[in-house]
Chain A
Amino acid sequence: AQSVTQPDIHITVSEGASLELRCNYSYGATPYLFWYVQSPGQGLQLLLKYFSGDTLVQGIKGFEAEFKRSQSSFNLRKPSVHWSDAAEYFCAVGVNQGGKLIFGQGTELSVKP
């Protein structure tokens, strides 16, 4: 069965520090992978996506993610975190049925001044 695992429920980093949010997926075919961010009480905003090609993808707001097929991972990174990055982050895989997304449980990011 398809699934997405985000092992870290909550992460706290200092402003200016680097960030890595982990995501592991289980999917039988070539995965189409997404990272979304959600600020409190808001909708989800797409940060980046991976369909094929270069395994290092660049997104908005200075985020990047690396697809590693051998590890079934799609980790999100940012070299220097800003206070405004504090939010909930969701990793998701696209599945065939009606363009559905299977979401991970989310990682809440807090940023210390």
Chain B
Amino acid sequence: DTEVTQTPKHLVMGMTNKKSLKCEQHMGHRAMYWYKQKAKKPPELMFVYSYEKLSINESVPSRFSPECPNSSLLNLHLHALQPEDSALYLCASTLDGTGRAYEQYFGPGTRLTVT
């Protein structure tokens, strides 16, 4: 199984809502990533979890809150978002988050629209 799954596929939320994005992988990978991608742009790294610990936070606003309950699951909790946060949110995983030699496997993404 080389699949990363993400739910939901699409999400529309108001600026006062609280919602969560979910990502799951069963490849035994120990590093998981959240990316934000705007149209016609490359993915921008938001967070990295390595061995279930947050290892990188790319200065992301606190209205985005990641959580890694176990090695297979990664959540992104959203609260009080702004319209400019509308984007495709991608999850990825890789074998080991301590090096640079491993390819990342990406999920299909969640298309988020903030109204």
| Contact yes or no, A41 B111, CB < 8 A | yes
Interface residues of B in 87-108 (CB under 8 A from A): 88, 90, 92, 94, 96-108
Interface members, chain A 60-112 (any B CB < 8 Å): 88, 90, 94-101, 103-106, 108
**CB pair B42 A43 closer than 8 Å:** no
Which of B14-22, B43-51, B64-72 faces chain A? B43-51
Inter-chain contacts of A105 with B (CB < 8 A): 41-42
**With contact pairs A104-B42, A105-B42, A106-B42 given, residues A99 and B99 touching in the complex (Cβ less than 8 Å):** yes
How many residues on the B side are at the interface (Cβ–Cβ under 8 A)? 31
CB of B108 within 8 A of CB of A90, answer: no
- Chain B residues contacting A108 (CB-CB under 8 Å) are 40
- The answer to whether A43 and B100 touch (CB under 8 A), given A98-B48, A98-B55, A103-B43, is no
Q: A46-B105, A94-B100 are in contact. Are A100 and B45 (CB under 8 A)?
A: yes
Q: Mark B3-19, 1 if CB is under 8 A from A, else 0.
A: 01010000000000000
Type the 1/0 row for A40-57, where 1 means its CB is closer than 8 Å to any CB of B: 011111100101000000
| B4, B31, B42, B50 pick with most chain A CB within 10 angstroms | B42
Which chain B residues (22-65) contact chain A, with CB distance < 8 Å?
31, 40-43, 45, 48, 50, 55-56
Which chain A residues lie closer than 8 Å to B42 at the CB level?
A: 90, 103-106
Q: How many angstroms between the C-alpha atoms of A46 and B31 in the bound complex? A: 17
A-B contact pairs, 14 of them (CB 8 A): A36-B106, A41-B109, A43-B109, A44-B43, A44-B90, A49-B103, A51-B101, A96-B100, A99-B31, A99-B48, A99-B99, A99-B104, A100-B56, A105-B42
